[in-house]
Structure 1
Amino acid sequence: MSVQIKTVRTPEEMGLSGQAVLHFLKQHEQLGIHTLAIARDNKVYSFAVKPFTTDSPHTLFSLSKSFCAMAAGLAVAEGYLTYEDSLAEVLKDSLPKGYDKALHEVTLHHLLSMSSGLDEESDKASRPQADWAKAALGYKVKHKPGTRFHYNTMGTYLAGRMVAQRVGMSLRDYLMPRLFGPLGIDKPQWDCCPLGYNIGGFGLHLSVSDIAKTAQLLLNGGVWGKKRLLPAEFMARATNKQVDNEDKTDPDFHPDWSQGYGYQFWMARHGRYRGDGMFGQVMMVDEKNNLSLSCTAGLVMMGTEMDAIHELMNGLLSLPKLDKTGQEKLIKKTTNLRVRAPKDGKEPVFGEGTYMGDDGRMLRIETPDADSLRLKFCKQEDLKPLWFRFGRKKDAQSHFQPFAAGERPQKTLGRFGVKDGTLTAQLMMPEAPYRMRVTIQRIGDQAIKVDMTSVGFEEGSFELKRVAP
């Protein structure tokens, strides 16, 4: 059953056009892509923007949902569940007193296709509770199951709980011998709810190489080598439209979120389908053209990312191939991709002290020595301020606890420089999309101007006054 995935240096070795990759990098190098992998015919072409790597795990956010659906499909094929099993029946031990009896009409199919009809408030309001399932099942069914699409991460969690209840183990453990192991994904990590169940709807950590192997499995119709890993019925259900999701009244309308929804997969333009996660995690599959593209990222404008991915995939198939000189240019270009450190003119660090804005926003600047910087961000209503460390000559390493319930701490890399009177501090997380770039300028002796750009944090320009040394 062993399948040898061959790593290639250029798309031309896969019968594709490297010119499309060069065009993509020229147009979108600042988009926020961390890693990218193209897979077809058991070959993978990939690159990473340092410090990110193609083999390091990365938080997938909602791309995790597609893997939860795979566990459900396997559980159905093995007789533990059916797609028509009732949510309320399988999780009867989690039903609260006075629950809505309409929950008996909600099935695994409805949860996987995001058409359960469960009150939209059940999604985020359930997570501060200790028992997420009991909290979510305390909400009403507002729409007849199967009639209306509503994206609900808690619905995926409930589907995962149904699987765990019937198979008697976690989603991760259930998938190890059935999916992860055969694909050569040795030790995947999946975050858990307060009761210890894998979250299902987010929290899976995989490298882009792992995602690419999964995409190759999907291109193969669920078959790996000579063995079927994903059931044929599941593949037919998951990768085809189960419910309509078009809503042109949405102010953020984009065609890639209106092509229909399968089982934890979005239908996409050009006959493709995908799993995706917040801040740019994507696994796009094009069965017709035997092509897949996977990426991890740290970006906000996912509509722009989708447009860029489709353009890249179309170009891979249609543009002229690079000659040997062009291929060497591409190899050099992708080898040297990196997030640049802030410019540093070796000017003295300035501004140590505590600064406050009229809205209660606070920034504490500490400079233990000429090559070290600590920033503390806080608002008056915050119970837990954010502390970050930055190094001048090399990255300062620390950890950050993400905001979402269930997410594990993330390693941080912080770097700063001072040039032309501006202090610039940059924070990255090599296994997550979160990032921050802060510039600080003096306004006289007692105030500073702070400009922040970020993924996952606050953004904006603020003037703060010194309140303490």
Structure 2
Amino acid sequence: MDRRTFLTAASAALVARQAAAQAPARQWQSQSLTEAGFKPDASERIEKAFAAGELKGLHGLVVLRHGKIAMEHYFSGADEIWGDSRGTVAFNADELHDLRSVSKSIVGLIYGIALGEGLVPKPAAPVLASFPDYRDLAADADRQRIKIEHVLTMSMGLAWDESLPYTDPRNSEIAMERAADRYRFILEQPITRPPGEAWTYSGGATALLGHLVARGSGQRLGTYASSRLFAPLGIERFTWTNGMNGEEAAASGLRLRPRDLAAIGQLLLDKGHYGGRQIIPADWVEQALTERSQRSDGLRYGYQWYLGRDRAGDPWYGAEGNGGQRLIVAPKQEIVIAVTAGNYNQPGNSRLPLRVAREFVFGALAS
């Protein structure tokens, strides 16, 4: 969903943030398709569809059912790291992949962990109270009404447009990257409507959240994420691409393996609990997955997470990113779907993961 290609000096911007060895690697359990409640030919159908060119750009698929791996597939294809070409990559279970805007949803969880530790402002707090150097902005009474909750729900009421190509300097996220002070740039944008009135897609909102976590914890965002989320969840490796200001690109720079992305989905399904530890406060999981605002297409939004209902009316929640990155959690069916793909910046790139989920996962359930 981030639709990002910031091509200038992308390879120079890449900085690896390796997860600290604070927890053993996750030991995944697998089950047969029939044990998981899928039709016995479900995996074969995916392989045949890819070979026939029907799933162009698909790189990886991990499906969990009842906390165990039911399906896992990897393919070869052209890939990028934040817009920098990697050529053709033969993907496997150990290969990291750009998550693009799925990063936003994970930053939302990291913010909740930091909030539980008293390191970041509560949702009801005014945003500008965290930026005392911006006295001129704080003098604007209308701007003072913007709260952290409006940042979490992308409803700040500030002008922001990422509909332009990410090669266009008028794109708000690219303009943010090029600004001397990205946080002032975000907060000084013209007010277009009252905060909380409407959802507006904004990588700037997530950049603010990542910055507050880093400042509150006294650590880089990736370092804090490693110690509080990734390592406790048994995630051994990740990288987080830096933005042009040298800080992690909170909105789009995270790279994980598909299994580890699925593990985050399962963590939400388990109310933030894993390995005998409450990794994410259970109340934050509930708050993050509560409807707060709505996109123009009717899809609901919580705290950096998308919320919806399937055709039967059953709820799901998830995250999405440019190129076909997708995490879908269906609590009633106890299914977690992690998709990685390489259709970056292509029109309709969200159709691939949706087709995979609808036709080859939910459509393959035995009953």
Q: Place the TM-score, normalised by the shorter chain, in its bin.
A: 0.7 to 0.9
Matched, 1:57 2:96: yes
Q: Please state how far the C-alpha of 1:235 moved relative to its aligned partner.
A: 0.9
What is the rounded CA distance, in whole Å, between the counterparts of 1:15 and 1:3 in structure 2? 27
Q: Please state how far the C-alpha of 1:99 moved relative to its aligned partner.
A: 7.3
Matched, 1:79 2:105: no
State the partner residue of 1:307.
Answer: 355
Change in CA separation of 1:169 and 1:4 when aligned onto 2, cut-off 3 Å: closer
State the partner residue of 1:20.
Answer: 42
State the partner residue of 2:33.
Answer: 11
Matched, 1:30 2:55: yes
Change in CA separation of 1:17 and 1:93 when aligned onto 2, cut-off 3 Å: farther
Mean Cα deviation higher: 17-26 or 28-37:
17-26
What is the rounded CA distance, in whole Å, between the counterparts of 2:365 and 2:339 in structure 1? 18
Q: What is the correspondence of 1:123-162 to structure 2 with a 5 Å cutoff?
A: 123-162=173-212
Checking the alignment, whether the CA contact within 8 Å between 1:103 and 1:141 is kept in structure 2 is: yes
Who wins on radius of gyration, i.e. which is larger? 1
Q: Over residues 197-241 of structure 1, what are the superposed CA-to-partner deviations in whole Å (9 max), with x where a residue is unaligned?
A: 222111001111111111121121211022111112211121232
Change in CA separation of 1:17 and 1:2 when aligned onto 2, cut-off 3 Å: farther
- Secondary structure of the residue aligned to 1:308 is helix
Mean Cα deviation higher: 24-33 or 67-76:
24-33
| RMSD between aligned residues | 2.3
Amino acid at match of 2:329: V
The alignment covers a number of residue pairs equal to 309
Matched, 1:284 2:328: yes
What is the rounded CA distance, in whole Å, between the counterparts of 2:137 and 2:266 in structure 1? 46
State the partner residue of 2:10.
Answer: none
Percent identity (aligned):
28
State the partner residue of 1:179.
Answer: 229
Q: Please state how far the C-alpha of 1:92 moved relative to its aligned partner.
A: 2.5
Checking the alignment, whether the CA contact within 8 Å between 1:241 and 1:267 is kept in structure 2 is: yes
Checking the alignment, whether the CA contact within 8 Å between 1:133 and 1:158 is kept in structure 2 is: yes
Q: Over residues 363-414 of structure 1, what are the superposed CA-to-partner deviations in whole Å (9 max), with x where a residue is unaligned?
A: xxxxxxxxxxxxxxxxxxxxxxxxxxxxxxxxxxxxxxxxxxxxxxxxxxxx
Change in CA separation of 1:174 and 1:162 when aligned onto 2, cut-off 3 Å: same
Q: Please state how far the C-alpha of 1:103 moved relative to its aligned partner.
A: 2.8
What is the rounded CA distance, in whole Å, between the counterparts of 1:262 and 1:285 in structure 2? 14
State the partner residue of 1:90.
Answer: 130
- Whose RCO is larger (CA < 8 A, sep 6+)? 2
State the partner residue of 2:285.
Answer: 235
State the partner residue of 1:364.
Answer: none
Q: Please state how far the C-alpha of 1:100 moved relative to its aligned partner.
A: 4.5
State the partner residue of 1:48.
Answer: 74
Checking the alignment, whether the CA contact within 8 Å between 1:96 and 1:134 is kept in structure 2 is: no
State the partner residue of 2:151.
Answer: 111
Unmatched tracts of structure 1, length 5 or more: 248-257, 320-469
Q: Over residues 221-275 of structure 1, what are the superposed CA-to-partner deviations in whole Å (9 max), with x where a residue is unaligned?
A: 211022111112211121232112134xxxxxxxxxx320111111134221111
Q: Please state how far the C-alpha of 1:115 moved relative to its aligned partner.
A: 0.8
2:305 to 265, 277, 285: 265
What is the rounded CA distance, in whole Å, between the counterparts of 1:268 and 1:167 in structure 2? 33
What is the rounded CA distance, in whole Å, between the counterparts of 2:107 and 2:234 in structure 1? 18
What is the rounded CA distance, in whole Å, between the counterparts of 2:337 and 2:177 in structure 1? 32
Q: What is the correspondence of 1:309-348 to structure 2 with a 5 Å cutoff?
A: 309-318=357-366
What is the rounded CA distance, in whole Å, between the counterparts of 2:139 and 2:239 in structure 1? 33
Change in CA separation of 1:95 and 1:68 when aligned onto 2, cut-off 3 Å: farther
- Secondary structure of the residue aligned to 1:54 is coil
Checking the alignment, whether the CA contact within 8 Å between 1:96 and 1:138 is kept in structure 2 is: no
Amino acid at match of 1:315: G
Q: Over residues 57-77 of structure 1, what are the superposed CA-to-partner deviations in whole Å (9 max), with x where a residue is unaligned?
A: 111110001111011111211
Q: What is the correspondence of 1:401-412 to structure 2 with a 5 Å cutoff?
A: none
